[in-house]
Amino acid sequence: MIESLKHLSQAGPDNETLADRFTDLASPLTARQALIESERCLYCYDAPCTRICPSDIDVASFIRNIATDNINGAAKVILQQNILGGSCARVCPTEILCEQACVRNHDAEAQPVKIGLLQRHAIDHMDFDGHPFLRAAATGRTIAVVGAGPAGLSCAHRLAMLGNDVVIFESLSKPGGLNEYGIAKYKLIDNYAQREIDFLLEIGGISIRYGQMLGENLQLRDLHENYDAVFLGLGLGASRKLGLTGEDAPGLMAAVEYIAELRQASDLGKLPVATCCLVLGAGNTAIDMAVQMARLGCEDVTIVYRRDVESMSATGHEQEIAKANQVRLKTWAQPQRVLLDDAGRVCGMRFEKTRLDMGKLVATGETFELPADAIFRAIGQSLDADAISDPIACALQLEKDKIHVDAQFRTSLPGIYAGGDCVSPGQDLTVQAVQHGKLAAAAIHQDLKGKVRVA
């Protein structure tokens, strides 16, 4: 049970209703639908959909394979570039990436090819005899990977393909990172994240050690000394706070903490659910939190954001999901004070209206209050300072509160690499993290080839 919300009632709808509300967000294509959709592709030369794909998937090639009923061929094209292609097909914002770049947007149909659903179809229906990739000859090298999220898993798989051994150190009891703990339950259902990881590990040469927290029972100094190289796929483990009095009162918590509990819950009906809640933020996590609370039975859900709708980082597609679930949106309002009842529990929040003045956000001095028996922070996350607190880790160069890396994902410390959400370049996307891990693995392997191995 989530301690901060234990005073709230449990979910109202029955289990059957809850199961219906947390089924697949998008229905998969049938074989016939996939064939028809694949034949809409024009197989463009220098296809814009491929050029914009963060993981460099040859989109036209995998779709052509589907059109010729070569599902394994399509899947291998995808997996060669993105070993987590199944989850990315479900959570990647294709509507602002490959599908927005599709040339079909500009013809008479004005509808892009459904690239995300086609990618999912290929991965869901592949049928290989064993793992589709073989390991290269053993290099005798062993690399430490910190974090079993998308970046760490992608890095580990590519290193293993290249003939290296990999040990992944994971702080939690399951691998997967945000795919396991941070994505809305209706986006990745039926334990998909773990099934995908089981497939990934079939390459061999990868072991995972759980309960290993960098900065606590795991030190970067030791990894640096005992392994040929280290890759940091730390993610962003610390939720940003509002800096307001009463922020630690019962009823106010980080959205990612509730989402993690929801994703691990075996019985959604036993989760604490607000009657009236506020979600503070403007990104996809804020949408995920608000929509899931609505589906659990919360009667009144409002997202509050300090700027306008156009400034929200949540995609238009995500905003439409929120509207379809009767989530309200209140803009131009920034938190000013947490309101508490006589028992010291959250009962609402006071906001101050905002506006733009010469391009700068300013407060107007006008305030208003919104009632709530639960408030969820979804205002972003930052690098956990404890994870980089030992003498070696402290020497890592940071850039805007993230780890600085060069174009090959090398940090400022020789032999230590990093990628995913914890580094400065790119967007905080699963598909971007996969690409970072893949490219970092190539750099690690290449750097080690020219280095004399010390026994």
- Give the confidence band of 395 by pLDDT, cuts at 50, 70, 90: confident
Residue 455 has pLDDT above 90, yes or no: no
Closest by alpha carbon to 380, among 240, 182, 234, 248? 240
User: Which has the higher per-residue pLDDT, 455 or 296?
Assistant: 296
Residue 1 has pLDDT above 80, yes or no: no
Residue 391 has pLDDT above 90, yes or no: no
Summarize pLDDT for 108-122 with one digit per residue, the tens. 889 999 999 999 999
Tell me the C-alpha to C-alpha distance, in Å, between residue 423 and each of 42, 134, 147, 195: 36, 30, 13, 27
Compute the chain's Rg from CA coordinates.
23
Summarize pLDDT for 204-259 with one digit per residue, the tens. 999 999 999 998 999 999 999 999 999 999 998 888 999 999 899 999 999 999 99
Q: What is the pLDDT of residue 426?
A: 64
Average pLDDT, the chain: 94
Q: How far apart are CA 344 and CA 175, in angstroms?
A: 37
- Give the confidence band of 339 by pLDDT, cuts at 50, 70, 90: very high
Summarize pLDDT for 71-111 with one digit per residue, the tens. 999 999 999 999 999 999 999 999 999 999 999 999 888 99
Average of per-residue pLDDT across 340-353: 96
Percent of the chain at pLDDT > 90 equals 85
**337: part of which helix (H) or strand (E)?**
strand 333-340
Q: What is the pLDDT of residue 3?
A: 81
- Give the confidence band of 29 by pLDDT, cuts at 50, 70, 90: very high
Which of 12-16, 91-95, 132-136 has the lowest average pLDDT? 12-16
Q: What is the pLDDT of residue 135?
A: 97
Contact partners, residue 369, CB within 8 Å, separation at least 6: 339, 348, 349, 350, 351
User: Which has the higher per-residue pLDDT, 108 or 134?
Assistant: 134
- Give the confidence band of 290 by pLDDT, cuts at 50, 70, 90: very high
User: Which has the higher per-residue pLDDT, 8 or 2?
Assistant: 8
Q: What is the pLDDT of residue 452?
A: 59
Percent of the chain at pLDDT > 70 equals 98
Q: What is the pLDDT of residue 12?
A: 74
Residue 428 has pLDDT above 80, yes or no: no
What is the DSSP-derived secondary structure letter of residue 368?
E
Q: What is the pLDDT of residue 388?
A: 85
| b/e code 208-237 from CB counts within 10 Å (16+ = b) | beeebbbbeebbbeebbeebbbbbbbbbbb
**C-beta atoms surrounding 267 within 10 Å:** 10
Q: What is the pLDDT of residue 11?
A: 64
Residue 361 has pLDDT above 60, yes or no: yes
Write the single-letter amino acid at 404: H
